[in-house]
Amino acid sequence: MSILKLENVSKKYSKKIALKNINLSLDENCIVGLVGPNGAGKTTLFRLIMNLIEPTTGKIKLWNQNNSTNIVGNNISYCSDGDNLYEDLTVGENLEFIVKAYGISNGDKKIEELSTLLDMDQELNTQVKNLSKGMRKKVALIRTLINETAMIIMDEPMSWLDVDSQKRLTMLLKSKSKNSLIIISSHNMSQVEKICDKVILLNQEIKYFGNIGDIDYGNIIKLKIDYAKESYNPQLKKELIAIKGVLDVYSEEETLYIEYNNSIGDIENQIISCVLQRYKLNVKKINHIEKSLEDLYFEKVR
């Protein structure tokens, strides 16, 4: 059964195109990362899914039904990048308000469980205005997760959280994803790789969509060479970039980075020969760098 389906969805504000021809189908409970530069249309996509705005063209379906306020209200929880809490109420009062507003059963028990999981159980009687930004974010996350909806949308859920809290939230989201489709936006590629099952690279259009574990980085290899500064000849960079198949060469302090297409013959031997034999660079260490989601992002989006 399709949970979320977008068919040729576009959104235009006046003369500005925010999203163009979005086709997307999510058919299982999992965690999906939404990644893109500022202005890529991530917030617009969230608003469209939650029926806060209508598409200029195209159709959006939730659970095989046409999108509507009623479907969204009963099935989707949203956590924005801001916390939007009631400042003069305590943490507990903010959470109890949500429990009563949505008629959540076993609300007190869920508040206790989630507060303990995110290490906020000792702050339930603290007024929100007296909390740090990280603690406020945790309250906003608990408020979102306490209503166990079939879809959860989260904008930068890890922002302001310390390392321990990020780990706790990661474990919580993985547990929740067994029963809910979770879509999160983030600028942190390494976090997306750790947390998410699928990733969408967005820049007005979908540039890539697939399983994190199935990403094919192809034959592009990156070589990292640490060297002694006094042995470096600036001409080396020009010689390397002239080798057929070398895509990029750049240096940072006493480290040289070389990106190349490994499908071209003995290209790595040519590179090493140029570095060691022709220019006699005093090399301390040579490493291959594994490609990451960030590399795919720059290839597809930027």
- The DSSP secondary-structure symbol of 276 reads I
Which amino acid belongs to residue 177? Answer: S
pLDDT tens, 64-106? 999 999 999 999 999 999 889 999 999 999 999 999 999 999 9
Topology annotation, domain 4-214: Rossmann fold (3.40.50)
Residue 299 pLDDT: 77
Domain with CATH 3.40.50.300 in the chain: 4-214
Whole-Å CA distances, 114 to 54, 95, 107, 193: 34, 11, 11, 24
Domain with CATH 3.30.70.980 in the chain: 220-300
Tell me the pTM.
0.83
Contact 193, 217 (CB under 8 A): no
- The DSSP secondary-structure symbol of 124 reads T
The whole-angstrom separation of Cα 22 and Cα 8 is 5
pLDDT tens, 197-240? 999 999 999 999 999 988 877 788 889 999 999 999 999 999 99
Confidence of residue 262 (pLDDT cuts 50, 70, 90): confident
Q: Nearest CA to 49 among 31, 29, 26, 30?
A: 26
Confidence of residue 37 (pLDDT cuts 50, 70, 90): very high
**137 membership: H or E segment, kind and range:** helix 133-145
Across the chain, what does the average pLDDT equal? Answer: 94
Architecture of domain 220-300: 2-Layer Sandwich (3.30)
